Amino acid sequence: MNSSTTAQLIDLNKQFYQTFAGAFAATRRRIQPGVRRILDGLPLDAQLLDLGCGSGEVAGELVRRGFNGLYTGLDFSPNLLEEARRNLPRAGAAPGSFVFQTADLGQLGWSGFAGEQRFDILLAFALLHHLPGEELRRQVLSEAKKLFAAGGHHRQQLVFSVWQFMRSPRLAGRVIPWERVGLSQDQVDPGDYLLDWRAGGVGLRYVHLFSEEELQALAQTCGYRMEGEFTSDGKEGDLSLYQVWEP
């Protein structure tokens, strides 16, 4: 994938999440079973970084679980972050324990938002499949490694999920030809799809369908070790693939 196509797809998703922030947040009020399983195993006093935190569903669930560490939620969408800031006090969050910041993972140097702060655990639920191109994914994952705390009290982990949407006939039926956005199949990578959105209007999103082999190669290239995986979510319990990597 060339740089102009990557930029076009990044912009496509930015436009989507800015336009449909409210409608999207309304569909994410419930924590997915796989996310709940991950949170069940997280230490409540850890320093967490939630990449692509959206409207703050994970933060709200942590509050309900009595989280007393430090949570930082990162997203490029001011509209989604505003939703997160508005909703969190209703969950009873302790002041200062939960912070939301704007950062664009599509830009080099995005990890500079943290200054000297470092984290025990990085979460990236439903994020990687919205990053177009292997080069950008490597860039984001390599930069994320810089944010782990050295010699912390907790095991360092990157925990993420990727969407396995083609396992759902309903979602597979929402695949749109690339020509709709002025691209052709040979301009994108294998596994790249354009999906429509039908809540609160019609929108389009870029999504990449990962294989386990592709994720294994990505982990090795970026210097991570894959320590665990499982599938969850959806009617059949297989709509998302979750993996745990260690730096």
Q: What fold, for 3-165+212-246?
A: Rossmann fold (3.40.50)
Token pair recorded at residue 97: 């324990």
Distance CA 75, CA 86 (A): 15
Q: Is the pTM of this model over 0.75?
A: yes
Residue whose entry in the numeric block shows the structure tokens 């449909």: 20
CA distances for 148 relative to 106, 114, 196, 224, angstroms: 20, 11, 36, 12
Tell me the one-letter amino acid at 100: F
Distance CA 194, CA 189 (A): 12
Element (H, E) at 124: strand 121-125
Distance CA 149, CA 72 (A): 14
Which is higher by pLDDT, 227 or 91? 227
Distance CA 55, CA 73 (A): 9
pLDDT digits (tens, 9 = 90+) for 131-168: 999 999 999 999 999 999 887 778 899 999 999 999 99
β partners of residue 215: none
Nearest 10 degrees: CA dihedral of 36, 218, 115, 25? Answer: -40
Token pair recorded at residue 26: 């309304």
Mean pLDDT of the chain: 90
Does residue 75 surpass a pLDDT of 80?
Answer: yes
Does residue 96 surpass a pLDDT of 80?
Answer: no
What are the φ and ψ backbone dihedral angles of 52, each rounded to 5 degrees?
70, 50
Token pair recorded at residue 66: 């009595």
Does residue 21 surpass a pLDDT of 70?
Answer: no
Domain boundaries, the chain: 3-165+212-246
Distance CA 74, CA 114 (A): 10
What are the φ and ψ backbone dihedral angles of 131, each rounded to 5 degrees?
-95, 110
Evaluated on CA atoms 173, 175, 180, 185, the torsion sign reads negative
Q: What is the pLDDT of residue 29?
A: 63
Which is higher by pLDDT, 23 or 106? 106
Confidence of residue 190 (pLDDT cuts 50, 70, 90): very high
Residue whose entry in the numeric block shows the structure tokens 């389009």: 204
Evaluated on CA atoms 29, 101, 209, 190, the torsion sign reads positive
pLDDT digits (tens, 9 = 90+) for 24-63: 666 666 789 999 999 999 999 999 999 999 888 999 899 8
Distance CA 106, CA 13 (A): 11
